[in-house]
Structure 1
Amino acid sequence: MAGEELTPAFVLHRRRYGDTSLLVELLTQEEGRIPVVARGAASLRSRRRASLQPFVPLQACWKGRGLVRTLARIEVVERVAGLSGKALYSGFYVNELITRLLPRYDPAPGLFRHYRDVLAGLRQEDSLDRVLRRFELRLLDELGYAPDLRHEEDGTPIREEGWYRFQHESGFHRADATAENSYSGKTLHALAEDRPLTGEYQQQARHLMRTILAIYLGDRPLKSRELFRTMQPDQASPRKIP
Structure 2
Amino acid sequence: MSTVSRSIGYVLHARPYRETSQLLELFTVSEGRMAAVLRGARNRGRHAAQPFRRMELAWSGRGQVQTLTQCDEIGAMRLKGDRAICGLYVNELAMKLLPRQIQAPDLFEAYEQVLCQLADAGIPVERPLRQYELALLKWLGEGLEFLSSDDLEPGAHYVLEPQQTPRRAGAGEMDSPHCITGRALTALLCGQLEDREDRRQARRVLRLLLDHHLDGKPLVSRQLIARGRSDATS
TM-score interval, smaller chain: 0.7 to 0.9
Deviations 1:59-87 (A, max 9, x none): 01111011111111111113x35201221
Give 1:165's aligned residue.
159
Q: Which runs of 5+ in 2 are unaligned?
A: none
Pick aligned residue for 1:202 from 196, 199, 204: 199
Query: Cα offset for 1:233?
Result: 2.2
Give 2:34's aligned residue.
34
Query: Cα offset for 1:144?
Result: 2.4
Classify the secondary structure of the residue corresponding to 1:107: coil
Against the structure 1 CA distance between its residues 234 and 197, is the aligned structure 2 distance closer, same or farther, given a 3 Å change threshold? closer
Pick aligned residue for 1:136 from 133, 137, 147: 133
Name whichever structure is richer in helix by fraction: 2
1:117 equivalent to 2:117? Answer no
TM-score, normalised to structure 1's length?
0.85
Question: Could you tell me how far apart the structure 2 residues matched to 1:220 and 1:116 are?
Answer: 24
Give 1:215's aligned residue.
212
1:99 equivalent to 2:95? Answer yes
Deviations 1:144-169 (A, max 9, x none): 23425449xxxxx4311012333323
Give 2:73's aligned residue.
76
Give 1:20's aligned residue.
20
Question: Could you tell me how far apart the structure 2 residues matched to 1:48 and 1:33 are?
Answer: 25
Query: CA RMSD, aligned part only?
Result: 2.5
Q: Which runs of 5+ in 1 are unaligned?
A: 152-156, 238-242
Deviations 1:166-196 (A, max 9, x none): 3323433415586242321100111122223
Question: Could you tell me how far apart the structure 1 residues matched to 2:9 and 2:48 are?
Answer: 12
Deviations 1:66-113 (A, max 9, x none): 1111111111113x3520122111100000111111110001111221
Give 1:56's aligned residue.
53
Question: Could you tell me how far apart the structure 2 residues matched to 1:206 and 1:8 are?
Answer: 31
User: Identity rate of aligned residues, in percent?
Assistant: 35
TM-score, normalised to structure 2's length?
0.87
Relative to structure 2, which stretch is displaced further, 86-95 or 174-183? 174-183
Relative to structure 2, which stretch is displaced further, 136-145 or 166-175? 166-175
Aligned residue identity for 1:73: Q
